[in-house]
Every structure is written in C-alpha cells, then in structure tokens.
Chain A
Amino acid sequence: GESVGLHLPTLSVQEGDNSIINCAYSNSASDYFIWYKQESGKGPQFIIDIRSNMDKRQGQRVTVLLNKTVKHLSLQIAATQPGDSAVYFCAEIRAPGTGFQKLVFGTGTRLLVSP
C-alpha cells in the first residue's frame, strides 16, 4: 500500500553537529511534502515544505532535499541545538489542489541533541 516512512527511528547528535533525517515515500503521484517538528505533549509544528518541481529548499538552518527518482526526502538541520530535540515527521499531501487534501504522516524520527 501507499505509505510515507522513515529510515531511522532515533538520531543522536552532539550540539553543533549537522543532522540529517530521512524519509521514504511510495506514492509517486504526491507532489507536496512537509516536515513537522513535534515536541513532547504538543502538536506538530511546521518546519519547511517542498513541491515536487523542486529538489531543494532552504529555510533558516534547515534544508529539505527531494529525490523523486528514488522517492526520498531528507531534512537537514545545520548547527543542531538542544532545542531541536523533538520528533520529526515528514508528511505528504495527497491530491493537492483538488479540494480533497489530506496529510499522510510518516512514522517519525526522534532527534536527541546532547550538549
């Protein structure tokens, strides 16, 4: 079936390191992806998004890379800080622009940043 999943359930890094969180998706028709950050006991927080007509998009300290050939998405966090510790989800918008849109979330990766 169609799914959006993550390769690594937990990623531990040192403060200041760069972090890379990966995501694989199986629906080749998806053309919009979002990364969310979720802290314990809170709702997801939007980080960055990317459309399928792009292969890279940069934000503040974050970069999302999209490889449609292998259906792979990654989130890069530069100079990781303890405040970045959270669970990160990739999500896929199904049927964007048609009025019937829903988010399908991946399984999540926990990022642990030690000082």
Chain B
Amino acid sequence: GAVVSQHPSRVICKSGTSVKIECRSLDFQATTMFWYRQFPKKSLMLMATSNEGSKATYEQGVEKDKFLINHASLTLSTLTVTSAHPEDSSFYICSARDASGGYEQYFGPGTRLTVT
C-alpha cells in the first residue's frame, strides 16, 4: 500500500517550452502533496506544499508563476514548469500524505527533467 507514482519518469524539452509532471497517490487519498527538487548529489529541497482544492504554499525563493501547482483531486497533483530553461533541469520528486491521518509522507519515484 501507500504507492505514489510520477509521470513522466524522464522528460527532455527545449528552452521556452512548458512541461507538466503528474503525481498520483494510487491506493490512498492525499489531502496534501509536496513537491521537492533535487540537484545532483544534493539533498531534497521543498518547493511547495499542495493542498487539495486550494492554492499551493510555496517556499521562499520558489517562483509560483514559474512552477505552477494544481491539486485538483485527492489523488492527483501536477507541477508545470513554465518557460523552462536549462537551469530548471533537475530531479523533481513529489510526496503525498494520507488523508486518513498521520504525518508520514510517501514519495514518488521522481521525474528527471532535462532542458536543452
């Protein structure tokens, strides 16, 4: 149980285009999902907290107009990287917290974004 998926697992896009990454909780409902970014050989950095049906809460320094987050249902949150640039290339990981309670976050497998 408690499986989180991400799609796509890898994506390559050209500068200036937008890319959407999906995060799904497969066997539980998640009122809260989190988006992280991870650079090579570095730790995970929280980008934003996404609550179902409301606006995401972004961490300091994260541009909300650049990284659009939508959490339209209890099992799906999306992260859209708009007008991507090479410096947006990174490993993006989502996590989800079960709506039934608890504080544990279940992590997705990550999405490798490469902007050329």
Which B residues form the contact surface with A (CB < 8 A)? Answer: 4, 6, 34, 42-46, 49, 91, 93, 95, 97, 103-110, 112
Name the B residues within 8 Å of A42 (CB-CB): 109-110
Q: Which candidate, A11-19, A74-82, A100-108, is the interface stretch facing chain B?
A: A100-108
Within 8 Å CB of A46, what residues of B?
104, 106
Q: Which of B42, B46, B104, B109 contacts A43 (CB 8 A)?
A: B109
- In the complex, the answer to whether B103 meets A105 with C-beta atoms within 8 Å is no
A105-B110 contact, Cβ under 8 Å, with A93-B103, A96-B103: no
User: What is the predominant secondary structure among interface residues of chain B facing chain A?
Assistant: strand
| A105 lies within 8 A of B43 (CB) | yes
Using a Cβ–Cβ cut-off of 8 Å, how many residues does chain A contribute to the interface with B?
22
B6: nearest chain-A partner, CB-CB: A43
Task: Tell me whether chain A's interface is mostly helix, strand or loop, or mixed.
Answer: strand
Q: Is the CB of B93 within 8 A of A43?
A: yes
Query: How long is the Cα–Cα vector from A34 to B44 in the complex, in angstroms?
Result: 14
Residue picked from B93, B106, B107, most chain A C-beta under 10 Å: B107
Which residues does chain A contribute within 8 Å of B103, judged by CB atoms?
32, 93, 96-97, 101
In the complex where A89-B44, A102-B49, A103-B34 touch, is A43 in contact with B107 (Cβ < 8 A)?
yes
